């Protein structure tokens, strides 16, 4: 039953992305082109998402389970650190260059857009690279973990 509900919610989300124009790279790039032919229409989509998200998170903070009975795990970190800033910059650059972000990219790929398929493959490759790099960290951190020192204490050499 949970999988059916997840599928329906995902279908609703994808349908919303299609209707809002978020799957059209030209529309997205027009929104991001502040000093050219700026298209402000996606600001309404984002405003609507922020509005819905504000109330959804307020409700979620008061709950310990999802509506279908699963455990509810909300993020607890509020840190603005280097990985967050660098990741945000990479995300923004990719969004501006390709005109896709992950959700619309997957929906567009499923709709048969070849450019979206290239984006999704590149996104998955980036996720694998991140997983590989973050599993070991920097070379000094790898050495410190190998001998049981706490992360961040550096290479003992």
pLDDT by 10s per residue, the chain, length 157: 788 998 999 999 899 888 888 899 988 888 888 888 888 888 888 899 899 999 999 999 999 888 888 888 888 888 999 988 998 998 888 888 889 989 999 999 998 999 999 999 999 998 999 899 888 655 444 333 333 434 444 434 3
Domain presence at residue 99 = yes
Residue 7 lies in a domain: yes
Q: Does residue 157 sit within a domain?
A: no
Q: Which domain holds residue 85?
A: 2-146
0.75 exceeded by the pTM? no
Is 151 within the bounds of a domain?
no
Domain assignment present for residue 152? The answer is no
Report if residue 27 sits inside a domain: yes
Number of domains composing the chain = 1
Residue 15 makes CB contacts below 8 A (sequence gap 6+) with none
3-state SS, the chain, equals: CHHHHHHHHHHHHHHHHHHHCCCCHHHHHHHHCCCCCCCCHHHHHHHHHHHHHHHHHHHHCCCCECCCCCECCCCCCCCCCHHHHHHHHHHHHHHHHHCCCHHHHHHHHHCCCHHHHHHHHHHHHHHHHHHHHHHHCCHHHHHHHHCCCCCCCCCCC
């Amino acid at each position: 039953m949970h999988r059916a509900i997840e599928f329906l919610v995902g279908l609703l989300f994808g349908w919303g992305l299609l209707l809002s124009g978020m799957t059209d790279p030209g529309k997205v790039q027009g929104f991001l082109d502040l000093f050219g032919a700026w298209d402000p229409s996606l600001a309404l989509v984002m405003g609507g998402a922020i509005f819905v998200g504000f109330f959804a998170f307020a409700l979620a903070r008061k709950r310990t389970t999802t509506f279908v009975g699963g455990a509810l795990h909300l993020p607890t970190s509020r840190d603005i650190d280097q990985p967050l800033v660098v990741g945000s910059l990479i995300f923004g650059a990719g969004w501006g260059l390709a005109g896709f972000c992950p959700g619309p990219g997957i929906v567009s790929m499923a709709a048969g857009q070849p450019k979206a398929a290239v984006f999704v493959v590149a996104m998955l490759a980036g996720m694998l690279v991140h997983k590989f790099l973050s599993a070991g960290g920097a070379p000094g951190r790898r050495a410190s973990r190998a001998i049981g020192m706490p992360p961040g204490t550096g290479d003992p050499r």
